[in-house]
Amino acid sequence: MRSPRPCLALALLATLSLPAAAIEVDGVIDPAEWAGAQRVTDFRKVQPMSGEPATLPTEAWIMATPDGLAVAFRNVQPASVPRTRQRVQRDFSEQVDRVNLMVDFDGGGRTAYNFVVASTGGVADAVISNQNQFNDDWDGHWRSAVAEDDEAWTVEILVPWYIAPMRSGSDGRRTLKVYLDRVVGSTGERAAWPAASHERSRFVSEFAALEVPHYSQSLLAVTPYASGLYDNVGGGGEFEAGADVFWKPSGQFQLTATLNPDFGQVESDDLVVNFGATETFISDKRPFFTENQGLFEYTTPSDFSQLLYTRRIGGPADDGEGSGDITAALKLNGSTGATQYGLFAADEADADGRRFAALRLVHDFEKQNLGAMVTHVERPWLDREALVAGIDHNWRPTPRWNLRSRLFGSHITQPGNDSDDLGATLWADYEMDHGWRQQWIAMHFGDALEINDMGYLARNNLNYLHWQLQRRFPDQAAGSRYASKDWRWRASSTYNDHGQRLNHQFRMSRDAQLRNGAHEYAQINVNSAGVDDRLTRGNGVLRLPSNFNAYFEYSVPRKGDWAFDTEAEVFSGGLAGNDRVGYAVWLQPTYFFSDALSMYAGVAAKSRPDWLLWQRENLIGSFRGRELTFEAGADWHIDPRQELRVKLQALTVDARLRQAWRIDGAGNAVASAEPVDDVAVRTLGFQVRYRYELAPLSYLYVVYARGGYREDTLVDGPFDGLEDTFGLRDDEQLLVKLSYRFEL
């Protein structure tokens, strides 16, 4: 495999003097407009990651203008390679013909922004942190257009300089880092310049350096909103109004504020039934909390963990009655030289209201980033204050090594429940030759560590260590149905902070890309015997035997009128260990009536032969659990500004008692004759949403939503329960929301 050539790219780009030209963003690449731009033709395959020249010729042009960073693509695609015509909504995930522009505006390898344009004009954007972690919750204001002819399709993109915080330059120049790629929808091939890949541990830091004139833009944008909601169950309605303010006098200082924000449900979260002790993580699409949020990223290797979890603000209130009512929130970002700073504050109303604050500092060095973060939460209803402070360090000592370390601690003040503790993580990746690489992760979360007043941590009281060996096989035989394979082998060990073993685990997985654009993923975990120290919510630990699980996923992008997603899993667990095996299956076909209108329907079934559910104290029940999920919906992209979406989810859970158990002092399960009820849950979510884009980031929403939840002890089977689910009607609402962004 040929390696990237960042030194050559740097030499070419550093000597470039870019003209202050104006670009008409119409998708048509006018040679006069792009005269003097840097031309890129050396696109290399990075998916599969062979480093060979791209199968289809691709050209790109890069130019800095007073209006923003301008990039154009010309993507040759003859008739022998089908073009995807499917229309997509913002932040799409469908595999279609598309291009990506990724920019690290500071050039420090810490945060980058991704701008995606599909061949049909649809767009997506995301913030990239921790080298290769994408978060598509953010929506930015940038421009793009697409055109095509018989030989190729072309894209023009203009990203304004106020799009994100960025450091100042020197002597009228600044250095960015950029990455360009093109994806062929019918095959899944990705070709990029430079030849970096998000599948590697080092991605953002491998972008090509680009020295440009130090242009600067200012922006004052006010987005007022008004919404009306009618409750068809409770009767009556309510009216809300407020505004978001974005002030960006320069790239070195940006302020975001929101007054009386309305978080009406125009985005529907997936249904979740969670009987476990681990909180479900939910991403955040609220504009105020996604704008300029990249600086506040402080994460650890633990899934979804972060010191600032914005769903806490306006989340479930401390008095247990509904959600917190946010009166105002403010966020500012700025930079001084290579040091960036951020301040976040939010206030909730009423006696149960909380006050949130966070401070963030980051300094970029040539091969490392050093940061600090402090969060503080006041919770008067609980007479509780939470202070969390952390230091994070990202270091790239050589082209092969990538090291990430975190050290943080919490200080909780609450009558009779004061506590202090620490957490620390170390993540090391080593890239070897011939597709081999290794990874080490170590984590320690103290028993009394608490960051969830403002952050998210799945669990504390944890010590974890793993070693992983991986190898890519990008060059498959010409007759193989596979384009590439990536194998991983991992050994891990997990203990709690009291020295009790949760498990040892061996994992083997394979990630494969097929030549027809399909994707396969397979994984098997073999787990040793250990203890479950969370099931009883602090009322003792439970000894569990060894177990396993095996998972397979297969997805096929649109071929003709159909696309398919399939998942299957077999697993053991509970007190039965490997003596009882459960399963889960999922199938979702999607039918395309046209490029603009599609409909999908999916069914999932899950059987848990020995499902352990906590009852009270140290009493648990072993259940035979069955779950059935039905999902259906339609997406109609009426025109580039209008879309209609229908989404239905119905979920039923039935759990019949096998045996009640008490946990003794040694962690053994002792059979009990105490009565334990069967469990039946029915839940429904249904939404019809019409959205009209009045102007960039300005929308009219009309949303009808209905939902319900019922839990009882009358188990009548998942299929009968699914039929019952459609009759649930705890909530039925009609929401109309209008927001309009004024740029001053």
The residues spanned by each domain of the chain are 6-214
Cα 670 from Cα 660, distance rounded (Å)? 9
Count the alpha carbons within 13 Å of 364 in the hemisphere toward its beta carbon.
Answer: 19
Mean pLDDT computed over every residue of the chain:
92
CA angle 295, 304, 191 (to 5 degrees): 70
| Percent of the chain topping pLDDT 90 | 80
Average pLDDT over residues 466-486: 94
- pLDDT score of 188: 94
How far, in Å, are 309, 525, 711 from residue 591 at the CA level?
Answer: 37, 34, 34
- pLDDT score of 265: 56
Cα 65 from Cα 156, distance rounded (Å)? 13
Architecture per CATH, domain 6-214, reads as Sandwich (2.60)
Residue 144: φ, ψ to 5°: -155, 160
Per-residue pLDDT tens for 396-417? 999 999 999 999 999 999 999 9
Nearest to 444 by CA among 404, 409, 395: 409
Cα 217 from Cα 64, distance rounded (Å)? 13
Residue 159 above 90 pLDDT? yes
Q: Quick one: tokens of 13?
A: 């780009």
Backbone angle region of 604, left / alpha / beta, with phi > 0 → left and psi within -120 to 50 → alpha:
beta
Average pLDDT over residues 629-636: 96
Place of tokens 């204001």: 141
Residue 272 above 50 pLDDT? yes
Place of tokens 């050290």: 407
- pLDDT score of 302: 92
The residues facing 403 across adjacent strands are 395, 428
Cα 460 from Cα 447, distance rounded (Å)? 6
- In degrees to the nearest 10, what's the CA dihedral of 285, 697, 141, 339? -50
Per-residue pLDDT tens for 494-536? 999 999 999 999 999 999 999 999 999 999 999 999 999 999 9
Confidence of residue 713 (pLDDT cuts 50, 70, 90): confident
- pLDDT score of 685: 94
CA angle 60, 63, 66 (to 5 degrees): 150
- pLDDT score of 20: 46
How far, in Å, are 68, 280, 620, 660 from residue 673 at the CA level?
Answer: 72, 33, 12, 7
Residue 328 above 80 pLDDT? yes
- Helix, strand, or coil (residue 5): coil
pTM of the model: 0.89
Per-residue pLDDT tens for 661-703? 999 999 999 999 999 999 999 999 999 999 999 999 999 999 9
| Percent of the chain topping pLDDT 70 | 96
Cα 197 from Cα 244, distance rounded (Å)? 36
Confidence of residue 252 (pLDDT cuts 50, 70, 90): confident
How far, in Å, are 222, 251, 291, 693 from residue 256 at the CA level?
Answer: 10, 13, 8, 22
Residue 3 above 50 pLDDT? no
